[in-house]
Structure 1
C-alpha cells in the first residue's frame, strides 16, 4: 500500500490523559453494533467468546485461515478483535506496512464516527505503556493517522496475541478514510519498516509459539467473489496450481524482490536492466516509475483523463496483449481482463499508475492486488523469500 510510515514522538497533553480516563461520549456496545450491521451471527460462529481463551498461553500450533471480504476488487478486509471482552474491527492485512492501528473513542472527527472505535474503558486487559504517554504519526501515501500507543489482547481467527502494542488513532485524514471499507490497518511487512515501536503481531505470534511456521500466505479472489483468505503459519496447497516458485527478498523492509524485466509480446518495454518490485496486499493497483507507466499506457491505448487516470476501451480485453512481469526468471503475465477495471457508470480505466512521489526510487514497482489476484503468494520470514504460483 503506498504506505510510507514516519513516527513522531511528542508529549501527550493532560487534557488527552483525562479524556482517556473519562471519555464523555456514550457508545453502543460492540454486540449491538454487530447486530445492527448484520454481522453478529457470522462473528459468533467465528469467534465464540470464552474468558479462558484470553488467559491461555498454550494454544495448539496450527495453520489459521482468516477469511477476507472482497470489496469491489479494491480492498480485502478481515475481522479481528481487541480487548476483553472483544471489540470487533475490520482491518486490511497489509504487506506494504508494519504498524497496526484502529480508531479510538477519542477520535470525534467525521471519518472516525463512520467506523468502529475502540473504547479502553470497556476492556479489562487494556494497558498504557509505562512513563509518559507516547503519540505516533503514521504517514501513508493516501493520508495520515495520528494517535497514541497502547497495549491489549488482539485476536486473529483463533490466535491470541497478549499485550500487543498498537496505535489508537485520535485523528485520521478525511481525504482517504471517510468512505473506506475498513476501520484500521494491520501491517505484515518487516519489523524495520515499523516506526511505532514494539513487536508486530506476526512476530509475537511466532515468538509465543502460536504458529508452526514463520510464514503467511494470501489468496485473493476477483470479480468481487467470496473466498479470499489469509493463512497464518502454513499454506493450503489447494489454493494454487503447479508448484510455488521462490524468489529471495532483496531488502528486508517491504516484501521486495528483484524484477528481471517487463515485456509485451516478447519485447521488453520497461525495467530493461532489472529493477525492484514490492508485493503489496494493501495496494489495489500496479504502480511504477512515471516514464515506464506512460509507455505502457501508450501500448495498451489508454487515454489520459485527469490526474493519474487513464481511460481505456472496455472491449479491449479481447485483443490487448498481456503485460508480463519476469521475476526469478519466471514469466508472470497480467492479461488485459486484469489490468482493465470497470469503474462507476461503465467507464473502464487502466490499473497502471505512476508513483505520487520519488520515495521508493526510480526503478521500483509496486505489484498490488491486480497482480496478487492472479498469483497465490507466500511470505516466508524464516527464509526471507516469497513464493508465487497461479491462483485457482
Structure 2
C-alpha cells in the first residue's frame, strides 16, 4: 500500500483511483471508533480553527470597545440593508433594534428600522417584551434578512422596538443581538446564531475576543475561532444549564484562601455585562480581601490576584484586570453585588480569557487571551 501511495503522487487522478482500493482504507475516525476512543478525542479536539476546506462559512464581526463598558458591532437588516450598532450579548437571546414605531427618548437618539423601506420585511403580528437587569423594551416581531460578519441570514425573526427603557438612551449601540440559547428567547423568537446553524451557514460554535483599555481589535467569530487571540491550551467546561451559558464554579480564592462561592456556585459567561456580579455577601468578601471596593490607584501593583476555580482549573485575574481606573472616579474593583445567587462572569473576566461558545456540544472553552 505504501508503494501504491507513492506511485499515486506521480499519476493522474483517474489512474490513482484505479490503483488504490479506497474502500479498504479506514478513516482516522473509524480507527478511533474501533478502539472506543472517538468520543474522548472529539471532545478534547472538537474544532479546526478556520477550516480551509470546510463548506461552512466563518463570519468575523469586528466590535467597538466602548470604554471597556460595552462591545458592539454593526449588523444590517432588510433589502436594501439598514445598518445598526448592536451589543453582542451572550446573556440574552433576542435580536431587536429601534423602529419607526417607537417614540421613546432612547429611540429618538438612535437609528430606527423602517419596515416600509424593506422589500423583504414580513410582519408577524406578534408582540415582544424583554426584561434586562437595567430596564425593558417592548415591541413587535418581524422577519427580514439579517447580515452579520459577512454572513447573510434570510428569514430572521427580530424585534422592532415600540418603547425602550430610559437607560438605553445612553447606549452607544442602537440595539442588542442575543447569543444565548433559544429557550431564553422572549416570545419564542429564534436567535440569530441558532438560525445560522440550522440553515447550515456556519458550524455550531462562536468565539469572542474582548480588547482591553478601549483598544481596537475586539471581535466575535461565528463558526470559528482565532488562535492569534489566545495562548496555551483551551480548557473545555461543560455547561450546567442550556439557557444562559451557565457553568459550575468550585470556589473563588485569594492567596489560596476561599473568599467566595464556598462549596460551589453557578455562573453565566455574559458578554453583555461589564463587571463580575455575584451575591452581595460574596462580593463584599472579595472586596475586603483585596482592600476594599475603592482602592488607591498607585497600589494596584501590590494587590492580590483573584482566582476563579472552575471544573478543576484555576482562572486567575490580576489586579490590573479587575480594577477599573477612571479619570473622574479614581479606582474601584470590577465586582458588583446583587440579590441573585447566580454569578455573572462579565467583560472583566472575558477580557482575560478568550471564550469559545460551543452550542453543539454544550461546552464553554476558555484560553488565556493575548
**TM-score if structure 2 supplies the norm length?**
0.84
Q: Which has the higher strand share?
A: 2
Where in structure 2 are there 5+ consecutive unaligned residues? 1-53
**Alignment-derived partner of residue 110 in structure 2:** 115
Shift of 1:60: 5.8
**Alignment-derived partner of residue 386 in structure 1:** 364
Pair 1:191 & 2:186 matched: no
Pair 1:232 & 2:222 matched: yes
**Alignment-derived partner of residue 72 in structure 1:** 67
- Return the alpha-carbon distance in structure 1 between the equivalents of residues 325 and 225 of structure 2: 32
Q: Which runs of 4+ in 1 moved over 6 A?
A: none
* Secondary structure in 1 matching 2:154: strand
* Contact preservation (8 Å) 1:284, 1:368: yes
* Secondary structure in 2 matching 1:128: strand
> Which of 354, 357, 363 is matched with 2:337 structurally?
354
- Return the alpha-carbon distance in structure 2 between the equivalents of residues 110 and 117 of structure 1: 12
- Return the alpha-carbon distance in structure 2 between the equivalents of residues 346 and 154 of structure 1: 40
**Alignment-derived partner of residue 288 in structure 1:** 278
**Alignment-derived partner of residue 61 in structure 1:** 56
> Which of 245, 249, 254 is matched with 2:239 structurally?
249
**Alignment-derived partner of residue 302 in structure 2:** 319
> Bigger CA drift: 183-192 or 193-202?
193-202
* Contact preservation (8 Å) 1:98, 1:186: yes
Pair 1:273 & 2:268 matched: no
**Alignment-derived partner of residue 323 in structure 2:** 340
> Which of 99, 105, 115 is matched with 1:104 structurally?
99
Give the root-mean-square deviation of aligned CA atoms.
1.3
Where in structure 1 are there 5+ consecutive unaligned residues? 1-58, 303-309
**Alignment-derived partner of residue 123 in structure 2:** 128
**Alignment-derived partner of residue 374 in structure 1:** 352
Matches within 5 A, 1:39-188: 61-129=56-124, 133-174=125-166, 176-188=167-179
CA-to-aligned-CA distance 1:91-116 (integer Å, 9 cap, x gap): 01110000111000111222111101
* Contact preservation (8 Å) 1:316, 1:336: no
Shift of 1:236: 1.4
- Return the alpha-carbon distance in structure 1 between the equivalents of residues 322 and 134 of structure 2: 21
> Bigger CA drift: 370-379 or 339-348?
339-348
> Bigger CA drift: 337-346 or 76-85?
337-346
- Return the alpha-carbon distance in structure 2 between the equivalents of residues 101 and 60 of structure 1: 29
**TM-score if structure 1 supplies the norm length?**
0.79
Q: In terms of Rg, which structure is larger?
A: 2
CA-to-aligned-CA distance 1:259-297 (integer Å, 9 cap, x gap): 011000011111111111110000010001111111112
Shift of 1:316: 2.2
Shift of 1:311: 2.2
CA-to-aligned-CA distance 1:15-62 (integer Å, 9 cap, x gap): xxxxxxxxxxxxxxxxxxxxxxxxxxxxxxxxxxxxxxxxxxxx9622
* Contact preservation (8 Å) 1:256, 1:277: yes
- Return the alpha-carbon distance in structure 2 between the equivalents of residues 383 and 187 of structure 1: 19
**Alignment-derived partner of residue 258 in structure 1:** 248
> Which of 194, 213, 219 is matched with 2:209 structurally?
219
* Contact preservation (8 Å) 1:167, 1:196: no
Pair 1:330 & 2:321 matched: no
* Secondary structure in 2 matching 1:189: coil
* Secondary structure in 1 matching 2:186: coil
* Contact preservation (8 Å) 1:99, 1:196: no
